[in-house]
């Protein structure tokens, strides 16, 4: 009986939250951000110091390599297409870096749509939800990950502000960069996404 009572309360709270998010338009703005962003996600083999260091070495190499691939991409769709076309090249390049560093870990790379929690990347905060991403997995992929945004090009500090301004609206940019006033709202969005995943 108690379980049903708790479930009923959760449903009521979820309904109220959905109404609030709908009224403010905040959830819709978060969804707009998700639709405009293409992320890079790199998973380390493990959380050992050596594997985490290797992950960062692969990261640095891939950022330099992909900067050429995505240089002429002017939309998320173009970036995703470039990643898909050059997916094996990206995987092979990361594999070469891993082998050069003296490891035999296999490397996987694929373009996917995956769930992220609310994440902060330097001065940019992205709300929780599902995003399209280029995912690179080193070895077993059991270690902590590293991520950034390939489109707009937020991985590169020199173009971060310009790229962000070109893609998102002024209101969405404020949400992403002025984190304090929106921190509670992002937490609520993350809670809502987590609740939805339970019933998916």
* Average pLDDT over every residue of 173-183: 53
Q: If you average pLDDT over every residue of the chain, what do you get? A: 76
Spell out a b/e string for 91-111, using b for 16 or more CB atoms within 10 Å of the CB, else e.
bebbbebbeeeebebebebeb
Q: Is residue 31 assigned to a domain?
A: yes
Please name the residue ranges forming H helices in 70-132: 76-85, 87-100
* pLDDT score for 159: 46
Q: Is residue 140 assigned to a domain?
A: yes
Q: Is residue 49 assigned to a domain?
A: yes
Q: Are strands 145-151 and 38-43 parallel, antiparallel or unpaired?
A: antiparallel
Query: CA 131 to CA 125: how far, in whole Å?
Result: 14
Q: Is residue 73 assigned to a domain?
A: yes
How many domains would you assign to the chain?
Answer: 1
Rounded to the nearest 5°, which phi and psi values hold at 60?
Answer: -60, -40
* pLDDT score for 175: 47
Q: Is residue 3 assigned to a domain?
A: no
**pLDDT band at residue 23 using 50, 70 and 90 as cut-offs:** very low
Q: Is residue 134 assigned to a domain?
A: yes
Highest mean pLDDT among 29-43, 111-125, 137-151: 137-151
Between 161 and 82, residue with greater pLDDT: 82
Q: Over the stretch 143-167, which tens digit does the pLDDT of each residue have?
A: 999 888 888 887 765 445 555 555 5
The region of weakest confidence among 22-26, 35-39, 94-98, 107-111 is 22-26
Q: Is residue 2 assigned to a domain?
A: no
Between 166 and 64, residue with greater pLDDT: 64
**pLDDT band at residue 122 using 50, 70 and 90 as cut-offs:** low
pLDDT at 115 over 50: yes
pLDDT at 24 over 90: no
Q: Which domain holds residue 110?
A: 10-18+25-198
Q: Is residue 5 assigned to a domain?
A: no
* pLDDT score for 54: 96
Tokens at 194, concatenated = 């987590």
**pLDDT band at residue 71 using 50, 70 and 90 as cut-offs:** confident
Query: CA 155 to CA 92: how far, in whole Å?
Result: 21
């Amino acid at each position: 009986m108690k379980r049903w009572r708790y479930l009923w309360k959760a449903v009521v709270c979820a309904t109220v939250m959905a109404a609030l998010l709908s009224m403010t338009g905040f959830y819709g703005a978060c969804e707009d951000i998700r639709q405009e962003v293409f992320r890079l996600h790199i998973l380390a083999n493990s959380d050992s110091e050596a594997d985490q260091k290797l992950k960062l070495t692969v990261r640095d190499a891939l950022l330099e390599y992909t900067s050429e691939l995505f240089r002429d991409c002017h939309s998320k769709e173009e970036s995703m297409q470039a990643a898909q076309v050059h997916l094996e090249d990206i995987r092979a390049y990361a594999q070469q870096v891993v082998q050069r560093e003296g490891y035999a870990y296999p490397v996987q790379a694929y373009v996917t749509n995956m769930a992220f929690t609310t994440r902060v990347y330097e001065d940019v905060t992205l709300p929780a939800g599902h995003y399209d991403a280029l995912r690179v997995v080193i070895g077993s992929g059991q270690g902590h990950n590293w991520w950034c945004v390939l489109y707009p090009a937020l991985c590169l500090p020199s173009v971060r502000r310009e790229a962000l301004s070109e893609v998102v609206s002024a209101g969405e940019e404020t949400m992403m960069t002025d984190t304090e006033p929106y921190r509670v709202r992002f937490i609520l969005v993350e809670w809502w996404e987590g609740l939805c995943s339970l019933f998916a």
